[in-house]
Structures are given as structure tokens and as C-alpha cells.
């Protein structure tokens, strides 16, 4: 027991480990970045108990709201090890907005949630600046969020992120894969790297073994391993919306956890499957590096990582050339990588 000295003790939230003033300073630091993402439909600013967004019903005949939520996963561990926090917010938006757009929905607004062991205002500002940049790229408004301090539950330098996105699509314009038929083609859009998936395997393979450090350089990468692993996810929402306006886009698969093997079948109707032609697209160095270091079977790679294709599209053969041209005009690299055939809903590699 601690001796009672008779001195008065100030018991408040700070004494318990929660710095409300630091959280307030963090909010002040992010206001300008958040304001830059606003859309005309947003009512009010940040700071309220709820965010308001006025859907302009004159633009729609039969609007359907689409929601998505996700996190960044264990990629955050690497950001914390490197003390670099300016890109994981982009990853957060990508994981949510690019899920929403797969059915043809335009991302409208986004909210984030940051849980941390201790609020460092400058670090929080870096994270939210990344979220705001992701929202800018996706075309949605960052309408609010939450910074929650969890002393005693998380270490002071630890944090976790979650995001929530809402979009809208006309009911008769929903992209759901139902019109896919045999001989339709599969087009892949290049990724920027690992995006936000497979990092538990990456960390165990490269760092838990003690063979590599984040600041190591190898012949495969222009920078360090850490810089390569922290490359932010590509955000595809604007170009997918452009493709939906100009092409007969039958299905869109966001290649996240589960890789090509796990995600492409999610948009293909029963009785059909996809044949994916290996060698039809360039596989980035990060994937060949991981496969070589870990001696990982190719099919395990394809069911874990995006392997250089962050989005997969299904469309008629006659639309492929147009789709590739639209991608090129929007500074994305696209590749015809496969076709739809009769079968049992899985991916066959050939």
C-alpha cells in the first residue's frame, strides 16, 4: 500500500491517462485538411455529434445507398515501426471506397475511427491528412470521425484505424455480375504494390525471422524494404465510375485479402468460372521478392496477394479495347488477363 502523505491528489481524466487537450489540438490540426474534402451536399462542418449529407434526389430516379467498412490491418505495425504515418490513411479510404464502387456506386462520404494508446496531435494530424488525401482521390467527403484514447489497453505509440464509406448508385445501374456469359473477358488494373493485404505473412517472413530490416536495400527496389512495403494503395473509384459510364461493365472485383483466387469468384454467377492467363501482366518486384525469399508456391501467392492487379473487370470482348483506352486516359495500366467459361465458380490458371 502507498502511504497516505496527506497531500491532496488531483484526480481527473489526465491522471487516468487520457489527454483531452491533446485530442482537441489534434482536431485543430486536421480541420483544414478535412475541409478540403467537402462536397456541396455536406451540411455543417466537423465537430457535431452526427454528420449530415443531403442527397440531391433530383439527380436520381431510384437511388440505392451502398456502404462499406474496413481497416488497414497489420500494415499499421510497419508504419509504427518506421514512425511514418502519412500514407496509411490513403490505404484506409482505398479499402472502403473501392469496395463500394465495385457495384457501380459513387463514394459520397467517409468517416474514420482512430484508437490509440496515447494522443500525439502531430501523429494524429499525419494520419488524418492521409485519410483526407484518400478522400480527395476517391471523390468523397471526409465528414467526421473519432479519435479514441485507450490508455492501459494499447501502448502509447500504438494505434488502429477503421473506416466507413457510403456511396450511391441508380438501381438499374447496379453492377452485380448477373449478366456475365461465357466468352466475356477479364481485364485487370495494375496495383501499386501489396496495397493492404498479406502483411501478417510479410512481417513473419521478413522480420520475425531476423533476416531483414525495414531499412535494408535490395536490388529489387529503388528505396528501402520499408519504403516499398508502405507504398499506399491505389484508389480506383473515379476510373471505375468512368468505365461504368462508357463501357458495358458487367462485374468488378476488388482484389484484397484472398488475392485473385479468393475475390474474382465473388462476382461470377453459378455455373461459370474464370480462366486467368498467367504471364499476361507484369508482376511487380515486391511479389517476386517475397516468393523467392519465402520459397512460396505460386498458387499460395495468388490466393494471398493481388500479384500486381488491384481490380478485375468483366466485360464483353467487344468492350475490351475501349476499357483499356479509358484506363490509359486516366493514367491506369490495364491488361486483358482472362475469360469466362462454363464451370463451377472458381479461378483456373493457365
Please check whether residue 27 is in contact with residue 147, taking contact to mean a CB–CB distance below 8 angstroms. Answer: yes
Per DSSP, 39 falls in state -
Q: Report the alpha-carbon distance of residue 331 to residue 333 in Å, rounded.
A: 7
Q: Do the bridges between strand 159-170 and strand 63-71 make them parallel or antiparallel, or are there none, so unpaired?
A: antiparallel
pTM reported for the whole predicted model: 0.91
The cell for 323 is 476499357
253: left (phi over 0), alpha (psi -120 to 50) or beta: beta
Instruction: Please say whether the beta carbons of 306 and 261 come within 8 A.
Output: no
What pLDDT, in 10s, does the model give residues 297-320?
999 999 999 999 999 999 999 999
CA nearest 43: which of 143, 139, 124, 135? Answer: 143
Q: CATH 3.90.650.10 spans which residues of the chain? A: 185-349
pLDDT in tens, 62-114: 999 999 999 999 999 999 999 999 999 999 999 999 999 999 999 999 999 99
E strands within 248-333? 251-254, 272-276, 309-315
Say what the pLDDT of residue 35 is. Answer: 81
Q: What is the pLDDT of residue 49?
A: 82
Sign of the alpha-carbon dihedral angle for 116, 120, 123, 127: positive
Given this structure, which CATH class describes domain 185-349?
A: alpha beta
Q: For each of the chain's 350 residues, which pLDDT tens digit applies?
A: 445 555 656 654 554 455 556 666 767 777 777 888 899 989 977 667 888 899 988 899 999 999 999 999 999 999 999 999 999 999 999 999 999 999 999 999 999 999 999 888 889 899 999 999 999 999 999 998 888 888 888 898 899 999 999 999 999 999 999 999 999 999 999 999 999 999 999 999 998 877 889 999 888 898 999 999 999 999 999 999 999 999 999 999 999 999 999 999 999 999 999 999 999 999 999 999 999 999 999 999 999 999 999 999 999 999 999 999 999 999 999 999 999 999 886 899 99
Which is the CATH superfamily of the domain at 20-173? PurM-like, N-terminal domain (3.30.1330.10)
What is the percent of the chain where pLDDT is above 70? 91
Asked if 31 and 124 touch (Cβ cutoff 8 Å), the reply is no
Amino acid at each position: 500500500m502507498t502511504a497516505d502523505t496527506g497531500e491532496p491528489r488531483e484526480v481527473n481524466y489526465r491522471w487516468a491517462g487520457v489527454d483531452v487537450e491533446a485530442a482537441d489540438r489534434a482536431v485543430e490540426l486536421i480541420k483544414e485538411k478535412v475541409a478540403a474534402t467537402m462536397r456541396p451536399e455536406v451540411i455543417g462542418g466537423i465537430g457535431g455529434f452526427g454528420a449530415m449529407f443531403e442527397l440531391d434526389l433530383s439527380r436520381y430516379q431510384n437511388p440505392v445507398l451502398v456502404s462499406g467498412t474496413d481497416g488497414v490491418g497489420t500494415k499499421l505495425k510497419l508504419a509504427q515501426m518506421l514512425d511514418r504515418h502519412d500514407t496509411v490513411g490513403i490505404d484506409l479510404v482505398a479499402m472502403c471506397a473501392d469496395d463500394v464502387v465495385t457495384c457501380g456506386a459513387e463514394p459520397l462520404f467517409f468517416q474514420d475511427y482512430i484508437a490509440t494508446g496515447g494522443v500525439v496531435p502531430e501523429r494524429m494530424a499525419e494520419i488524418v491528412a492521409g485519410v483526407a488525401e484518400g478522400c480527395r482521390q476517391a471523390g468523397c467527403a471526409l465528414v467526421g470521425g473519432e479519435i479514441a484514447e485507450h490508455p492501459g489497453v494499447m501502448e502509447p505509440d500504438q494505434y488502429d484505424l477503421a473506416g466507413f464509406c457510403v456511396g450511391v448508385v441508380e438501381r438499374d445501374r447496379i453492377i452485380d455480375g448477373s449478366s456475365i456469359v461465357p466468352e466475356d473477358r477479364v481485364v485487370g488494373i495494375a496495383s501499386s504494390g501489396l496495397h493492404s493485404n498479406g502483411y501478417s505473412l510479410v512481417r513473419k517472413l521478413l522480420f520475425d525471422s531476423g533476416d531483414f530490416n525495414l531499412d535494408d536495400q535490395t536490388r529489387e527496389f529503388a528505396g528501402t524494404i520499408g519504403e516499398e512495403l508502405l507504398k499506399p494503395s491505389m484508389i480506383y473509384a473515379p476510373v471505375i465510375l468512368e468505365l461504368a459510364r462508357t463501357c458495358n461493365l458487367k462485374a468488378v472485383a476488388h482484389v484484397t485479402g484472398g488475392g485473385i483466387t479468393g475475390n474474382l469468384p465473388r462476382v461470377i454467377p453459378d455455373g461459370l468460372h474464370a480462366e486467368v492467363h498467367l504471364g499476361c501482366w507484369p508482376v511487380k518486384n515486391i511479389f517476386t521478392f517475397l516468393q523467392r525469399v519465402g520459397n512460396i508456391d505460386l498458387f499460395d501467392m495468388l490466393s494471398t496477394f493481388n500479384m500486381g492487379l488491384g481490380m478485375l473487370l468483366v466485360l464483353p470482348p467487344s468492350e475490351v479495347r475501349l476499357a483499356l483506352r479509358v484506363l490509359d486516359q486516366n493514367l491506369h495500366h490495364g491488361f486483358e488477363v482472362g475469360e469466362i467459361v462454363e464451370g463451377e465458380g472458381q479461378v483456373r490458371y493457365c
